[in-house]
Structure 1
């Protein structure tokens, strides 16, 4: 339920996945990116990001091959190197926007959102006072959803695992805080479970990424062309606490502005939060998310190996 690659100790990393880009995952590079984008127009920041990402894809063929294999879970066997490079190209543009907005106001960030779908369900959840879980994937500019929620008056908390670099954890938390978004760093223990439960009890929206497996607890969901191991803890909590659950995505449109989409509240199994209930709930979430991913497949930023069965 967090927003960084799983640990290699869990058996998910590989030389062609996490470890190759791990040296780039440091606060120094993020700070330099924001510093450079401070003096650039948005188009230039996006262009530099796209160029750098494409160069990485050409230089790291094994890394690009991982992306192609992940895409096949959604698109089938026809995926090739050119398709994976489209993912890097779009990712570079997204990072250009991320850095560009690093020194801009929340109002400027919200100007990039051209389309908003699903507000009524979120408003009803907020008025109920029970909080809500917002589940998304590594799709598009998912960080941008938080600035919209805070602008609508919805208190929002982003769940994250500790970053590889402690300074980066602080950097990203400060980045979100400028937009009125909180960050909750969690692990795989009961204390983290209680911390999330406490935020929901305060009526907050808790957002989490669900399309990568947890190091310790995972199950397998069906995708159009394979199976994907995903984390289970956050949905266990949702069933147990009877919290409203929504699937959300933030994807870029052809006009370079963004579409924020939110599903209706998902119908999750009732009763005890056992394994069968959590499996059914996980599949329900991905049945809703997969069409969104398929429609914007070049914005599905999955750079670590995903295939395999759940444990």
Structure 2
């Protein structure tokens, strides 16, 4: 399964160690050069990204898709620089990186239900910053994740999240993890998860995603039905030199036959957001 070549322990360690000390403009300049080199040599990821973008923009020329893909590589390298920079900031300063919110009232409506919160997002923008943001509401935040092929990456990410009070729940590590999720929601906690990559073997619902049948995890919708927890779709995207929060929903699954209907709404939101920010959709794996 191809991954971006910067998604290795040494890149995270160097980024966290040095990004906070170098001037931001210099860090971004270095990241741009690295991104351009990786675009040239990391051909499998470039191919996968272009194939994914072809689903989004079927009428675009190869030249246009190449332009978006190169921009995506540069933005991903910039994301990693910010990942490192934020490690040197206080929690309040990190949260302050989000300059504005679109749909904050949607989040407030979901929180008023006092049923916990299911946050669905994607490999779009800065999803780690989103997890820290939800913690700023004074809610205990849990991030669901799959085990990385490299356990050192898992350790670094877990340490990073815990520094901001975000707990990591690794799916598949324990048969009791679903019980842990239900307990968290019953305690009015937040569970956040990425849904734009399907984990083989897990329960799923297949739905058209940019006109292609794609399996999406069923788990969050089952959790909503069992606990009454509302579902929101949230992203933290970069616009020029600042971050912007986007929050849609809330949705609540009350019957099993509503799972597909609400997933359709979630996928439509995901599609619309990818169309708006295609060069921030860091999915290096073919859909």
User: TM-score, length-normalised on structure 1?
Assistant: 0.84
Residue number in structure 1 paired with 2:47: 65
Partner of 2:261: 280
Determine which structure has the larger strand proportion and give its number.
2
- Which of 34, 44, 48 aligns to 2:26? It is 44
Report 1:157-168 matches (<5 A): 157-168=142-153
Aligned to 2:89: 104
- Structure 1 unaligned runs (5+)? 1-12, 307-311
1:115 aligns with 2:100: yes
**Distance in 2 (alpha carbons) for counterparts of 1:160 and 1:53:** 26
* Distance in 2 (alpha carbons) for counterparts of 1:177 and 1:279: 34
State how far apart, in whole Å, the 1-side matches of 2:141 and 2:98 are. 18
| SS of alignment partner, residue 239 of structure 1 | helix
TM-score by length of 2: 0.90
Q: How many residue pairs are counted as aligned between the two chains?
A: 283
- SS class of match (2:27): helix
Q: What's the counterpart of residue 77 of structure 2?
A: 92
1:303 deviates by 0.2
Q: What is the aligned partner in structure 2 of residue 182 from structure 1?
A: 167
SS of the equivalent of 1:133 reads strand
| Cα shift at 1:278 | 3.2
CA distance in 2, matches of 1:284, 1:125: 16
| In 1: Cα distance, 2:33 partner to 2:208 partner | 34
Counterparts of 2:222 and 2:107, CA distance in 1: 21
Residues 73, 227 of structure 1: 8 Å contact kept: no
Provide the C-alpha distance between the structure 2 equivalents of 1:42 and 1:67, rounded to a whole number of angstroms: 27
Separation in structure 1 between the aligned mates of residue 45 and residue 58 of structure 2, nearest angstrom: 19
| Cα displacement (A) at 1:230 | 1.9
Query: How far off its partner does 1:267 sit?
Result: 5.1
Is 2:17 aligned against 1:35? yes
SS of residue in 1 equivalent to 2:148: coil
1:38 CA drift (Å): 2.5
Look up the match of 1:75: 57
Extract unaligned runs of 5+ from structure 2: none
- Residue 108 of structure 1 deviates from its aligned partner by 2.2
Instruction: Please give the per-residue CA displacement for 1:167-206, whole angstroms capped at 9, x wherever unaligned.
Output: 3222111111222222112228742211111111110011
Alignment of 1:130-141 (within 5 A): 130-141=115-126
RMSD (CA atoms): 2.1
Q: SS at the partner of 2:178?
A: helix
